[in-house]
Amino acid sequence: MKFFIDTANLAEIQEAVELGILDGVTTNPSLMAKEGITGQDRVLKHYVDICKLVDGPISAEVIATDFAGMVREGEALADLHPNIIVKIPMIEDGIKAIKYFSQKEIQTNCTLVFSAGQALLAAKAGATYVSPFVGRLDDISTDGLALIEQIRTIYRNYYSFDTQILAASVRHPMHIVKCAEIGADVITGPLSAIKALLQHPLTDSGLAKFLSDYQKATV
Ligand code: E4P
């Protein structure tokens, strides 16, 4: 399973790179705004800066919601760097744009997916990745992980679908572990959720005892 980080913060991305387990980055307009990255030129430059830090897929989201606008923006994003994945919302014109880009062999990430039917359409259109939002479904008392399982079953039924399931809006370590059990291809979330996988109290107490026994034996 690949690990992407869901942020536009360069320091956080660098920290994840140094951890040695990072495969890619996802961003969205809210995450760019959170970093104060505004205006088309600065946004495009920021994507290039992220590409310089990470040698893997970098999802860059279009703002347009009409087919022509998404194609125009998506082509400009794809021209920035070979690792850019054009992120397109799950709307009618978005599906048309995903189909267009798949025919041009430009990689896409279909975002804001909340149902199996939407994921089926994304795969039919030829999306490279489909992003079901696990955490946001949990937020409204709906089982986000059950959706990942349902999409995995559907995609497994049809070998011609090579769309990868990118479990997005992952919020905590158990989301990640469960996604791995289900067989999601990728997870994306904050670095804090990934780093929480490191933690176990028995690791901490075991290490403390090994070190104190070592000290005792060497005095
Ligand atoms: C996916 O690509 C989105 O950027 C993201 O995972 C949304 O996560 P959130 O629900 O924590 O905002």
In whole angstroms, what is the distance from residue 147 CA to residue 131 CA? Answer: 11
35, 12 Cβ separation under 8 angstroms: no
Per-residue pLDDT tens for 170-191? 999 999 999 999 999 999 999 9
CATH of the domain at 147: 3.20.20.70
What's the sign of the alpha-carbon dihedral 96, 100, 103, 107?
Answer: negative
Catalytic-residue membership of 99 = no
Ligand 1 center from residue 169 Cα (angstroms): 4
15: domain range? 2-218
CA 107 to the chain's CA centroid:
14
Ligand 1 center from residue 133 Cα (angstroms): 7
Ligand 1 neighbourhood includes 4 CB (under 6 angstroms): no
> What's the structural domain count of the chain?
1
Per-residue pLDDT tens for 43-99? 999 999 999 999 999 999 999 999 999 999 999 999 999 999 999 999 999 999 999
Q: Quick check: pTM over 0.75?
A: yes
Q: Name the active-site residue from 45, 87, 96, 178.
A: 87
